[in-house]
Amino acid sequence: MSDAFEPRILAFLCNWCSYAGADLAGVSRFQYPTSIRVLRTMCSGRVDPLHILEGVRSGFDAVFVFGCHIGDCHYLEGNFHTAGRLEMVRDLFALSGIGRERAQLRWVSAAEGQLFANSVAELTEVVRELGPLDREASSLPLSALAATLASQRLRWLLGMEHQLTEVGNVYNEKLDKGRYLELLGEAAVGEYRKALVLESLRQGPQSVRDIAEVSGLPIHTISMLLGEVQKAGKAELHSYEGCAPKFIRL
């Protein structure tokens, strides 16, 4: 990658640890790249997956989240939620072709100014090697990711994490944290594939082969997903081109 490329990076810093660590790095005059633009948040657990995606969609080449070390969260469990959500976002970025490394998570305490500076330098180099994100070429997966992260199914799972894993149902049954994350990942992949099909249909009536060409999904997967979105009232059969049915988005 050309040395001329300097990435633009959005960084969410939690108020109690990493923001103070960044402040210490500045006061101590530790050197690190000027690639990041900082947004201060009370807790890394308040960084919604949609915020990360919106950062990428709005012109940043990557998004970093810095939080308290596990066990040191000012709000007790905020960074536990952050870790699971960031891994889901990274998996979706990998699946969509955006690149897993465009979403990064690091733990930095208020006393670790040098660690903050080192982390920014290290991660900036990773993004520099990736190069700039071609948003025009990635417009379909970016739109599908936005629909995925806003989907009712995924929002419910994200919002119910504490209830499902800590509180339990009326029978006091709880999900193991690992099982919850597995279900969250499966839901994210399923919603992303449906979103890809629906976003492809924005271009007008499409056959299964048309959608496959645009989305990169296998034909048999698209046929199955079309059945699901039709049952949900989000698409319907529009016409036939020869023997090939064409579908439209509702």
DSSP string, 130-172: H----TTTTHHHHHHHHHHHT-HHHHHHHHTHHIIIII--TT-
What's the confidence (pLDDT) of residue 4? 77
C-alpha distances in angstroms, 15 versus 36, 44, 109?
16, 9, 10
What's the confidence (pLDDT) of residue 16? 94
Q: Is the Cβ–Cβ distance between 125 and 132 less than 8 Å?
A: no
Least confident interval from 34-38, 61-65, 170-174, 181-185: 170-174
Q: Average pLDDT of 101-127? A: 97
Q: Phi and psi of 170, rounded to 5°?
A: -65, -20
What's the confidence (pLDDT) of residue 87? 96
Residue 3 has pLDDT above 90, yes or no: no
Residue 109 has pLDDT above 90, yes or no: yes
Supply the pTM of this predicted model. Answer: 0.92
Residue 55 has pLDDT above 70, yes or no: yes
Q: Phi and psi of 39, rounded to 5°?
A: -120, 120
Residue 2 has pLDDT above 70, yes or no: no
What's the confidence (pLDDT) of residue 234? 96
Q: Is the Cβ–Cβ distance between 157 and 184 less than 8 Å?
A: yes
Q: Is the Cβ–Cβ distance between 100 and 145 less than 8 Å?
A: no
Q: pLDDT tens across 64-108, in order?
A: 999 999 989 988 888 989 999 999 999 999 999 999 999 999 999
State how far the Cα of 156 lies from the Cα of 212, in Å rounded to an integer.
29
State how far the Cα of 97 lies from the Cα of 86, in Å rounded to an integer.
16
Q: pLDDT tens across 7-27, in order?
A: 999 999 999 999 999 999 999
Q: How many CB atoms neighbour CB 196 within 10 A?
A: 27
What's the confidence (pLDDT) of residue 170? 87
What's the confidence (pLDDT) of residue 1? 44
Q: Average pLDDT of 144-160? A: 96
Arithmetic mean of pLDDT over the chain: 94
HSE-up (13 A, CA, CB side) for residue 97: 14
% of the chain with per-residue pLDDT over 90: 90
The domain segmentation of the chain, as residue ranges, is 9-130, 151-249
What's the confidence (pLDDT) of residue 76? 84
Fold of domain 151-249 = Arc Repressor Mutant, subunit A (1.10.10)
State how far the Cα of 192 lies from the Cα of 214, in Å rounded to an integer.
14
User: For the domain bounded by 9-130, which CATH number is listed?
Assistant: 3.40.50
What's the confidence (pLDDT) of residue 77? 86
State how far the Cα of 76 lies from the Cα of 51, in Å rounded to an integer.
22
Q: pLDDT tens across 174-208, in order?
A: 999 999 999 999 999 999 999 999 999 999 999 99
Separate counts of helices (H) and strands (E) for the chain: 10, 7
Q: Average pLDDT of 155-166? A: 93
